[in-house]
Amino acid sequence: PGTVVIGPAATGPAGPADRTAWFRHDHYGMFVHYGSYAVGGRQEWVKYAERMDDAAYRRYAEHFDPDLYDARAVARLAKEAGQRYVVLTAKHHEGFCLWDTATTDYCVARTRGRDLVREHVEALRAQGLRVGVYFSLLDWSHPHYTVDWSHPLRDAPDVAALNATRDMGVFRQYMREQLRELLTGYGPIDYLFVDFTQPGVRHGLPGKSADDWDSPGLLAMCRELQPQMVVNDRFGLPADLVTPEQYQPVRPIEVDGERVLWEACQTINGAWGYDRDNLDDKSPELIARMLAETVSLGGNLLLNVGPTARGEVLDRHADILRSVGRWLRRHGDAIYGAGPADVAPPSGVIYTQRGDKLYAHVLAWPFKTLYLPGLGGRVGFARLLWDGSQVEVDAVPERPEGSNLNPAAPPPGTLTLTLPVRRPDELVPVI
Ligand code: H79
């Protein structure tokens, strides 16, 4: 591969071959937010945002028909996009279940005779992709789920009276059984994304804590039923990784001084669930850059698409994903299995490292020369990754005594790469 060869390997987040090994290696996944909210076409928080009651909101489930949801097409798209795992919302905050559950009739198995989780799992396995399931801890459909600050009924006239009729113990049983179904009915699940725990009072109402869910009990059940499964931290307990949301970290994430595994969940267009009138798509270039930045900081990127009410990923979004996938086919060596480098890049450059190879992602193509501080003498050979062709490397030449031809030359120890004038026609050129 086209690389700079440097000294001993820097490691990414260190760790034994554990349940997260594949996750640390793969770095890039697809998030799919699909549920009855797609019928609204105004994102997945619409019930809350518009303070809809159950009667109004149930129309979405009644009219939810995933006739164009083709899990195999989604899996193929993810594969073409270079994404190595796909996480489907089995249940979002609305409470509508995409699998065949015995716990409620509020599920697509009852309304349409489909089990979208089974379709998802089987399609991913057939493509050799990792299987992810998203499960919301919040559930606005359950009569015993207490009204808190993020509930559609939070502005109801007497929330205290409402809550007096609600018993979270009943709800805890319900969610535990749902999770048990998901973890026992579909074979091995590689990744569980639970969402979310936020204690503390807002708008005069409490949030929910790990105790409200019995998170210790749920996490223990996860470990017992699926010991190999990667679990995120949103039970409100430390688990396998942390999950910044629509936020790109600017340095490796540390907890108690130790680097931890993380995954940035991001969206193509700023929305999770289908948002019909939203045209705020990220460009393929931006996504490639976000992915490179993510890997350079030891994280993963989980990029969301929100299928239409009928279940299709928009052509527009599929095209963006495939464009990044084409880039990854040529630049995957700089992403998969790569991690943070042990040297700091100059501005406008992102480094990733894999073994003894350093990859320089060049965000702004300079004229003729790229100076890489600290790499003088450490690089044996360099090339453009996209075509494998050589890039001349040199230490910065000593400035002859009295010369004024290059008065502001970079400091000693700087490596000079001599670049072609023509920038490679790639989303992010890598050397
Ligand atoms: O599933 C996706 C989101 O629906 C869910 N997590 C991702 C993966 C999520 N979104 N926001 N949150 C979790 C945190 C809650 C934010 C809130 Fe709000 C601020 C709730 C109420 C105020 C955002 C703004 C949602 C409604 C208004």
Average pLDDT, stretch 105-126? 98
Residue 393, classed as helix, strand or coil, is strand
**pLDDT cut 70: percent of the chain above it:** 94
Q: How confident is the model at residue 400 (pLDDT cuts 50, 70, 90)?
A: low
Query: Residues 152, 37: one domain?
Result: yes
Q: Is the pLDDT of residue 403 over 90?
A: no
Q: Cα(324)–Cα(287) distance, rounded to whole angstroms?
A: 7
Query: Residues 398, 269: one domain?
Result: no
Q: Taking a C-beta distance cutoff of 8 angstroms, is the pair 104, 111 a contact?
A: no
Q: Flag the least confident range among 5-14, 273-282, 347-356, 422-431.
A: 5-14
Q: Taking a C-beta distance cutoff of 8 angstroms, is the pair 372, 345 a contact?
A: yes
**Residue 340 DSSP symbol:** -
pLDDT single digits (tens) 218-253: 999 999 999 999 999 999 999 999 999 999 999 999
Residue 281 in any domain: the answer is yes
Query: Residues 6, 93: one domain?
Result: no
Number of domains observed in the structure of the chain:
2
Residue whose tokens read 């450059």? 349
Nearest atom, ligand 1, residue 89 CA: 1
Q: Which of 273, 20, 291, 143 is nearest to 282 (CA)?
A: 291
Residue whose tokens read 């009569």? 143
Q: Whose CA is nearest to atom 5 of ligand 1?
A: 195
Query: Residues 345, 428: one domain?
Result: yes
Nearest atom, ligand 1, residue 49 CA: 26
- Which CATH number is 255's domain given? 3.20.20.80
pLDDT single digits (tens) 90-115: 999 999 999 999 999 999 999 999 99
Average pLDDT, stretch 288-302? 98
Residue 21 in any domain: the answer is no
State which of 293, 315, 334 marks the end of a domain: 334
Higher pLDDT: 316 or 402? It is 316
Query: Residues 385, 255: one domain?
Result: no
pLDDT score for 12: 38
Query: Residues 228, 180: one domain?
Result: yes
* Residues in the chain, overall count: 431
Distance 272 CA to ligand 1 centre (A): 9
Q: Is the CB of 272 under 6 A from ligand 1?
A: yes
Q: Is the CB of 195 under 6 A from ligand 1?
A: yes
Q: Is the CB of 65 under 6 A from ligand 1?
A: no
pLDDT score for 396: 64
Q: Is the pLDDT of residue 335 over 80?
A: yes
Average pLDDT, stretch 195-207? 95
Query: Residues 242, 344: one domain?
Result: no
Q: How confident is the model at residue 9 (pLDDT cuts 50, 70, 90)?
A: very low
Query: Residues 167, 271: one domain?
Result: yes
State which of 315, 334, 353 marks the end of a domain: 334
pLDDT score for 17: 47
State which of 291, 319, 334 marks the end of a domain: 334
Do strands 4-5 and 230-231 pair parallel, antiparallel, or not at all (unpaired)? unpaired
Q: Is the CB of 36 under 6 A from ligand 1?
A: no
Residue 208 in any domain: the answer is yes
pLDDT score for 2: 43
- Work out the mean pLDDT of the chain and round it to a whole number: 94
Query: Residues 299, 413: one domain?
Result: no
Sheet containing 349-354: which strands, arranged edge to edge? Answer: 4-5, 357-362, 349-354
Q: Whose CA is nearest to atom 2 of ligand 1?
A: 272
Distance 205 CA to ligand 1 centre (A): 16
Q: How confident is the model at residue 399 (pLDDT cuts 50, 70, 90)?
A: low
Query: Residues 350, 296: one domain?
Result: no
pLDDT score for 395: 67
pLDDT score for 408: 72
Q: Which of 16, 137, 120, 43 is nearest to 75 (CA)?
A: 120
Probe residue for ligand 1, chosen from 138, 245, 263, 304 as the CB with the greatest number of ligand atoms within 8 Å: 245
Q: Taking a C-beta distance cutoff of 8 angstroms, is the pair 71, 116 a contact?
A: yes
Residue 138 in any domain: the answer is yes
Residue 385 in any domain: the answer is yes
Residue 23 in any domain: the answer is no
User: What's the start-to-end Cα distance of the chain, in Å?
Assistant: 9
pLDDT score for 407: 67
Residue 20 in any domain: the answer is no
**Inter-axis angle of helices 168-184 and 215-225, to 10 degrees?**
10
pLDDT score for 8: 35
Q: Is the pLDDT of residue 26 over 70?
A: yes
Neighbours of 387 (CB within 10 A): 10
Beta strands in 209-274 (DSSP E): 230-231, 254-255, 258-259, 262-267
Residue 402 in any domain: the answer is yes
Query: Residues 191, 297: one domain?
Result: yes
Distance 384 CA to ligand 1 centre (A): 41
What ipTM, to 2 d.p.? 0.95
pLDDT single digits (tens) 35-78: 999 999 999 999 999 999 999 999 999 999 999 999 999 999 99
Query: Residues 345, 329: one domain?
Result: no
Q: Which of 251, 256, 231, 249 is nearest to 241 (CA)?
A: 231
Which residues form the domain of 109? 28-334
Q: Which structure tokens are listed for 172?
A: 């805890």
- Which CATH number is 414's domain given? 2.60.40
